[in-house]
Structure 1
Amino acid sequence: MSGGPLQLALREWRDRFRHPTTLICLAGTSVILAIIAPFDGAALLRPLPRLAYWTMVVTTTYAAGLWVNIYTLHRWADRLPRQRRLAVIGLATATCVSVLVWVLNGMWLGFWPAGTALAVYLAQVFVIALIVAILIEAVVQRIMSATAPMVGPSILDRLPLDKRGTLLAMSVEDHYVRVTTTKGQEMILMRLSDAIRETATTPGLQVHRSQWVATAAVVAADRKGDGAVLTLADGTQIPVSRRYVPAIKEAGLLPAR
C-alpha cells in the first residue's frame, strides 16, 4: 500500500470501523444508552425511536471521532512531541463530536441550546463522548488483542490480521516503514530503528540505511559493485550498501569471491 497521510488514515479508519468487534460494541453501547435514557430521553422518545436515535448518535460520533483521531495522528505524528500530539488529537476529537451531537440533536429533536445552556450542554456532551469513546476503545482493543493470532515478532501486531504472515523485510518510505510479509505489505507510521527493535524474535539484518531483511527470507545474494543485492523468497531484490557487506558475509549470506 502506498499514499500519503490521508490515504493511510482512510484505510486504517475503514478497517477499524468495519471490524465486527467495533460494530458489536457500537450496537451494545446504543442499546445501553437507549435503556438508561440519559437527558430525560424516556420522556422525549418512545423505546424504538430512542434506540434509533442513540444508534445514530453513537455510530456517527464514533465514526467522526475515530476519523479525526486517526487522521490527526497520521498528519502530525512526526511534527509534534507525544504529549502535544495527544492534546491536539483530544481537542480535535472532542470539538468534532460535540458539534456533531449539537447538530444531530437540533435536527432530530429540535433542541438548539444557546448561551449558557449551550456551554453546559457541550460540557456534558464532551464528558459523555469521552467516557463512551474510552469504553468502546478499551473493549475493542482487549477483544482484538485476545483474538489476534500470536505469530512472530511484535511488529506484526501492528498489521491488519490478513497481513500477519512470516516477516520478510522492511523498508523506509518518507516517515513510514513498509513491512513485507508472506501475506502482503503494509505501511506503518514509525521509525525503522523502532521497527527493528520489534523484530527481536526474527533473525535479521539491516543491510542499508533504509532496509532490513529477515535472514531466513534470503534465497540468493550477489555482489554489485562495492555492495550487493539480496533476493528474497518472494522475488524481491534488496540492495546492500557497502557499509553492511561485512555483516551479510558474517551471516553467511554472501559467498566469498
Structure 2
Amino acid sequence: MPSFASTRKFLCAYGRAMAQPVIPVVWLVTSIFGIVASPFGTEHFPLTGRVAFWPITIGLGVLAGGLLRVVVRDCWGLRSFWPEAPLIAVLATLGLTPLFLALARAVAGPEQHVPSTPAMTGYIFIMSIITSTLRHAVAATWPGTAAAMVPPPDPAQPDPALSVPALAAAAPPARDAAARLMARLSPELRAPLIRLQMRDHYVEVFTEAGSETVLLRMADAICAAEGVAGLQVHRSHWVARQAIRGVMRAQGKVSLALQDGTQVPVSRGNAPAVLALGLQEMSPQAETGAQAPQAMVAR
C-alpha cells in the first residue's frame, strides 16, 4: 500500500504536470482544429457530434497523458525516449480506445460512421508517439539536459558546495552547472538554482521556475548541485550564493533573505561562517518593504 508521502509526491507531480499554462491553449486549439478539419473519419459526424467528440477526447487524452507520464517517469524512472514514449503510447491506447469508441458511437448520429477498433487504436497510438516526440524535442533544446553524460564527482576531492571559500567564487550559469541535479527535474523547472530543503527522505529543489520534490538524500542533492556556489546553512537547508539578498538577525537568531522572498534559517553552528561573508544586513522590516536595507556588514 503506498505511503502518504509517496501519494502526496505523486499528486504534487501530477498537479505540476497539469498546471502548465500551455495545456488549456493546446486543448482549445486542437479542439477547434478537430471540429473544423474533422480528421480520422469524424467528417461523417454531425456538427453537434464533432463539437462534443473532440473537446472531450482531447481533454481525456491530456489528463490521461499527464497521469501516465508521472507514472512512467517518476514512479518507474523511465525518462529516456525509449522506452518511455512507446510505453506511454501502449498504455494510453489500451485505456482510451474503449472510451473513445463509446463516445464516437454516442455522437456519430443515425448513420453511425464510427472508426473501427483497429483504426481508433492506431490513431491513439500514433498521436501519443507524436506528442512524446515533440515533448522530448522541446526538452532537448533546454540547456543542461545532457546531464546524464556528466560523470560523478571524484570522492577524493572536497565538495565546493560545502566550503565557505566557494561562496566567494563566481558561480557559473546555473543552467550549465548542477547538471546532474537539473536532470532529475521536469524540463520546465530547469532554471537557475535557488535552494534545497530536506523533507523527510526527499529534497525539495527550488529554482527560478518553481519547485519539485525528488527522492534524494540531502548530501547527494548537494553533491549533484556541483558547479553552483553555495553553502549548507542548516541541517535541512542549502542555498545558492547568487540567490542570497542579505542576512537578518533577530532575537539571537540568524536567517538569510533570498531573492524568491523566502527566509532560510541559519543554524547556530553555521552562523559565524555566514556572518563572516560580509553579506548585506537587513532588518525584518526591510524584507517586508517597511524599511530600506541597512549598510553592508564589515567583517
Q: What is the TM-score normalised by the length of structure 2?
A: 0.53
Gaps of 5+ in 1: 146-151, 221-229, 241-247
Q: What residue in structure 2 maps to residue 178 of structure 1?
A: 204
Q: What secondary structure sits across from 2:63 in the alignment?
A: helix
Q: What residue in structure 1 maps to residue 45 of structure 2?
A: 44
Which of 153, 163, 166 lines up with 2:174 in the alignment?
A: 153
Q: What residue in structure 2 maps to residue 149 of structure 1?
A: none
Q: What residue in structure 1 maps to residue 24 of structure 2?
A: 23
Deviations 1:5-50 (A, max 9, x none): 332232333333243321111111111222221133222222x542
In the TM superposition, 1:192-207 aligns within 5 A as: 193=220, 196-198=223-225, 200-204=227-231
Give, in whole Å, the separation in 2 of the partners of 1:75 and 1:189. Answer: 10
Give, in whole Å, the separation in 2 of the partners of 1:86 and 1:40. Answer: 25
Give, in whole Å, the separation in 2 of the partners of 1:238 and 1:86. Answer: 45
- Contact 2:198/2:237 (<8 A) preserved: yes
1:101, CA displacement in angstroms? Answer: 2.0
Which of 168, 183, 188 lines up with 2:214 in the alignment?
A: 188
- Contact 2:193/2:207 (<8 A) preserved: yes
1:207, CA displacement in angstroms? Answer: 8.1
The letter for the 1-side match of 2:29 is G
Alignment root-mean-square deviation, CA: 4.9
Deviations 1:217-240 (A, max 9, x none): 6969xxxxxxxxx96423535698
1:184, CA displacement in angstroms? Answer: 8.8
Residue 213 (str. 1) matches residue 238 (str. 2): yes
Higher helix share: 1
Q: Summarize the Cα distance change of 1:235–1:130 in structure 2 as closer, same or farther, 3 Å threshold.
A: closer
Q: What residue in structure 1 maps to residue 196 of structure 2?
A: 169
Q: What residue in structure 2 maps to residue 223 of structure 1?
A: none
1:213, CA displacement in angstroms? Answer: 1.9
Q: What residue in structure 1 maps to residue 92 of structure 2?
A: 93
Q: What is the TM-score normalised by the length of structure 1?
A: 0.59
Q: What residue in structure 2 maps to residue 148 of structure 1?
A: none
1:72, CA displacement in angstroms? Answer: 3.3
Gaps of 5+ in 2: 143-172, 176-180, 257-262, 277-299
Q: What secondary structure sits across from 1:127 in the alignment?
A: helix
Q: What residue in structure 2 maps to residue 65 of structure 1?
A: 65
Q: What residue in structure 2 maps to residue 227 of structure 1?
A: none
1:254, CA displacement in angstroms? Answer: 9.2
Q: How many residues end up aligned between the 2 structures?
A: 221
Give, in whole Å, the separation in 1 of the partners of 2:70 and 2:102. Answer: 23
